[in-house]
């Protein structure tokens, strides 16, 4: 099996896993990954993560031209913004995961650091998550907002919509976005109970030890 065929199968396998565990439902969410030749494989518009067909993924060449498969997700500007501003990005995942969306609706959030430091793992896998305002689905302004971060963030939370995560490969992106959702769930479960979060020194120790991107 070629490297691209293997990647196609992996994208569909991981997407189905996310769907089967309720992390994005219906025809929501989109996923993309870099190919060896610098192109992209992207989930098509209007498709379910539970039923992606490896042979019908949208295929872009290294120049950004659609060369095969079905029409891509309408959120392509969002994906392109991450690839264009983060040289390390090998994959991008966007979900409509319930707990992170619910947390994005809460008052008094830190827009520069959306997730509270409840466990080490979101810090290690995501760094700071930027909370972006609400945009209409498919609005190119979402991509503009990501570009405005100048590549300094690997993850953003679209208010009232869903998280978006870029990582070195598709497995890492899926693992990181699951950590984002788990941390959002913990934040909701402990909200109003004054949980004992990690303090600033503990966060700094994590950032240093695991070489975390941590935009001050």
* DSSP secondary structure letters along 128-165: SPEEE----TT-THHHHHHHTTTT--SEEEETTTEEEE
Tokens of 50: 């539970």
Q: pTM higher than 0.95 for the full model? A: yes
Q: Using CA atoms, how far apart are residues 33 and 210, in angstroms rounded to an integer?
A: 25
Q: Which of 4, 9, 36, 75 is catalytic?
A: 75
Q: Is residue 214 part of a domain?
A: no
The answer to whether 121 is a known catalytic residue is: yes
pLDDT band at 1 (very low <50, low <70, confident <90, very high): confident
Domain-located, residue 23: yes
Q: What integer is the mean pLDDT of 85-97?
A: 98
Residue 216 has pLDDT above 90, yes or no: no
- The one catalytic residue in 4, 121, 171, 213 is 121
The encoded tokens of residue 69 equal: 């498969």
Task: Quote the domain boundaries for residue 63.
Answer: 3-209
Is residue 82 in a domain? yes
215 inside domain = no
The yes-or-no verdict on residue 133 having pLDDT over 90 is yes
Q: CATH number, domain at 177?
A: 3.40.225.10
Residue 122 scores a pLDDT above 80: yes
Instruction: Specify the 3-state DSSP secondary structure of 41.
Output: strand
- Domain membership flag for residue 167: yes
Q: What is the largest CA-CA distance in the chain?
A: 53
Q: From CA 164, how far away is CA 146, in angstroms rounded?
A: 10
- Is 216 inside a domain boundary? no
Average pLDDT over residues 73-91: 97
Number of domains into which the chain is organized: 1
Residue 175 lies in a domain: yes
Rounded to the nearest integer, the mean pLDDT of the chain is: 97
CB atoms within 10 A of CB 128: 22
Q: Is 141 exposed, middle or buried (0-12, 13-18, 19+ CB in 10 A)?
A: middle
**Is 213 marked active-site?**
no
> For residue 84, is pLDDT > 80?
yes
The pLDDT, as a whole number, for residue 147 is 98
pLDDT of 215 strictly over 90: no
Q: Please report which confidence band the pLDDT of residue 40 belongs to, taking 50, 70 and 90 as the band edges.
A: very high
Question: For residue 81, what pLDDT is reported?
Answer: 98
């Amino acid at each position: 099996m070629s490297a691209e065929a293997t990647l196609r199968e992996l994208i569909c396998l991981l997407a189905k896993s996310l769907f089967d565990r309720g992390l994005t439902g219906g025809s929501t969410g989109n996923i993309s990954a870099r190919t060896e030749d610098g192109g992209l494989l992207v989930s098509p518009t209007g498709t379910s993560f539970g039923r992606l067909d490896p042979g019908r993924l949208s295929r872009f060449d290294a120049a950004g031209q659609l060369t095969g498969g079905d029409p891509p997700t309408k959120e392509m500007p969002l994906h392109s913004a991450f690839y264009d501003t983060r040289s390390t990005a090998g994959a991008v995942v966007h979900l409509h995961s319930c707990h992170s969306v619910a947390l994005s609706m809460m008052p008094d959030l830190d827009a520069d650091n959306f997730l509270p430091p409840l466990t080490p793992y979101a810090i290690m896998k995501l760094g700071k998550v930027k909370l972006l305002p609400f945009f209409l689905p498919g609005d190119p302004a979402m991509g503009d907002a990501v570009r405005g971060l100048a590549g300094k963030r690997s993850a953003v939370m679209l208010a009232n919509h869903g998280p978006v995560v870029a990582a070195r490969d598709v497995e890492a992106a899926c693992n990181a976005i699951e950590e984002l959702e788990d941390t959002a769930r913990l934040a909701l479960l402990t909200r109003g109970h004054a949980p004992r979060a990690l303090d600033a020194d503990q966060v700094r120790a994590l950032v240093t030890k695991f070489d975390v991107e941590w935009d001050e």
